[in-house]
Each structure stands twice: as C-alpha cells, then as structure tokens.
Structure 1
Amino acid sequence: MSSNEDQLRGYFHAYQHGDVDASLEYMTDDVVYIDHAMGFRATNKTYLRRAWNRYFEVASNDDHSSEVHSLHLTPTGEYFVEWTERNRLDRDWAFLRATGTPYAVRGVSIGLIKDGLIVHNADYYDLTSILRQSGIDEVPKSIPTLEL
C-alpha cells in the first residue's frame, strides 16, 4: 500500500485536475469534509460528490488550477497542506454571483488520514478575497446554507 503522504499527494493531484471521482477515492465513505469559508459540511462521499460536481459545473474548467505549496504529515496521520486555487465562476454558486472574473485564493487544509484514506478534512481560506477579486463588493453578513 502507498504511504499516507503518497495518498495525500494523489488526492490533491486529482482535485487539481477537477477529477471528482478520483479525488473521492482517497477518502473514507464516511469522510467529514468541512469548507469553513462557505459554511459547508459533508459527512459522507455521496454528499461531497454532489457538492463538488456542482462546483465544477459552475466554475471554469479551463481556468481551474491549484497548486500545493507545502504538505506536512505527522506519523499519526494529521496533516496540514498549504495551497492556492485559481478559477472563475461562469454561473452562480451558492450565494456567489457569477462574474466570469478570474480569482486566486490561498488556503490551508487540515485533516487526518488513516490507512491511506482521508477521514477528516477542513479547508480554510479568505472568502472575501474571492469576492473582491470577482468584483463583488457586498460581503454577505452571514453565510447561507449551501443548497444542492
């Protein structure tokens, strides 16, 4: 079996290429995935697949890219990954209006991987940076629930 580090790198590689199914192969069926900026929490792969498929439907596949800057993994499986994602929204996504303007956001993922599968992942990034780069001046006072 591949090491946890190889598996993490495989997951981020699949996500970088917008391959939802391949990304999810690196997760347990009952993965807990949290996107703190969007106020989103999934507690299984089925729900996460729906969310990511919707995201990649509204985002520009031509402009999507992400880069891993650093990856740190403890012997017990806790990890910290620093990344940058670049994209643009061609259609509305959750409470974000589509402007077609490219954005880049730097963020971190913190999680736990066991036996080569991600059990828990939490993403943190600056949502207001995406809004401003996209030309959206009004920042929501609260984050509505992500409807799928």
Structure 2
Amino acid sequence: MHPTEKVVRQFHESWDLRDPERGAAVIAEDCDFEDIARGEKLPGKQAYKADYNRWREAFPDGLCKVENVIVSQCGEWATVEFRNTGTHTGVLRSSLGDFQPTGRRAEVRYCSVMRVRDGKVVEGRDYYDSVTIVRQLGLME
C-alpha cells in the first residue's frame, strides 16, 4: 500500500473505529481542510476533532466505510470515496441549521481530495450532498 493511501485510510477509518485521536495523529497542525457542502474551513487537528464530535453527536452509531482510494502519480494527492451511515439520534448541527433527532437512518456517499506530505494531511476538501442527508432524515421533501 502506498504511504499516502495508508495516511488517508487512517484518517477515514478512525471515524469507524470511534478514535478521533487516531485520525488527528495524521493531520498537520496547519492543515488547510474545507467542508465544501457547508462552506466551512476546518484548520488543523482541533477543527478535525470538533467536526468528529459534531457528527458523532448526531449519529452515535455512525460508520465510515472507505470504498476506493486513488493516489496521484506524484504520490502527494489521494482521492477517497467513502460511505457514511448512521441513525440520527442526536442533534445534527449543519450549515442548514440545527436539527433535532429524527430516529431515521441516513446513508451518504462522500469524496475527499487530500494532499499528504511527510505522513500528514496538509490540505483537503470533502464533497457530498447535504440535501441528500436532510431528505433521508425526513427534514425536507
């Protein structure tokens, strides 16, 4: 396995393992990460942990399954396709507002584009459809 793939898998699989420290271990202190759907910057380890806790609050049983990792020829960039599933039993704090628990399950496909240097994620972006989430939770028709 390419070292870049190993790093991005550790980042994503830490969600499934419920181990935010494991994920934070591969994030550079000055990491420039952005959640495109929310239009939110998530700089560094602390922002990652806050985002992890926000999602874990909304979906305590949430799982993250990596489906595909493509590493660029230069070896610095990786594209990660993954699927998040979970039951909405906690408050979901999102760019569309805060939503009280619905008890419904959601399954959403994501794509992350990440740059890795010296074993750390230094830049990245998450792409997903937030409307799919709120529709599955019955919050929008």
Query: Where on the TM-score scale, by shorter chain, does this alignment land: which range?
Result: 0.7 to 0.9
Kindly provide the CA deviation profile for residues 92-118 of structure 1, in whole angstroms up to 9, marking residues without a partner as x.
Answer: 222141212010001100120111110
The alignment of Structure 1 onto Structure 2 pairs a total of residues equal to 135
Corresponding position of 1:121: 124
CA contact (8 A) 2:8 2:80 kept: no
Separation (CA, whole Å) in 1 of partners of 2:76 and 2:133: 30
* C-alpha distance after superposition, 1:49-88 (max 9, x if no partner): 2232232123223xx1121111011224111111111012
Which 5+ residue runs of structure 1 have no aligned equivalent?
A: 139-148
Seq. identity, %:
23
Contact 1:4–1:115 (8 Å) recurs in 2:
no
TM-score, structure 2 length as denominator? Answer: 0.86
Give the 4+ runs in structure 1 shifted more than 6 A.
none
- Look up the match of 1:31: 31
Offset of 1:47 from its aligned partner? 2.6
Hey, what does 1:55 align to over in structure 2?
55
RMSD value, Cα: 1.7
Say which of 51, 64, 67 aligns to 1:66. Answer: 64
Q: Which secondary structure state, in structure 2, belongs to the residue aligned with residue 136 of structure 1? A: coil
Rounded to whole Å, the distance in 1 between the matches of 2:45 and 2:86 is: 23
Shift of 1:22: 0.9
Cα deviation for residue 36 of structure 1 reads 1.3
In terms of fraction of residues, the more strand-rich structure is 2
- Who is 2:109 aligned against? 106
Instruction: Give the secondary structure class of the aligned counterpart of 2:18.
Output: coil
Task: Answer yes or no: is the 8 Å Cα contact 2:32–2:41 preserved in 1.
Answer: yes
Q: Please state whether the residue corresponding to 1:37 is helix, strand or coil.
A: coil
Asked if residue 19 in structure 1 is aligned to residue 22 in structure 2, the reply is: no
Query: For residue 10 of structure 2, what is the aligned residue in structure 1?
Result: 10
Question: Structure 1 length as normaliser, TM-score?
Answer: 0.82
Q: How much does 1:48 deviate?
A: 2.5
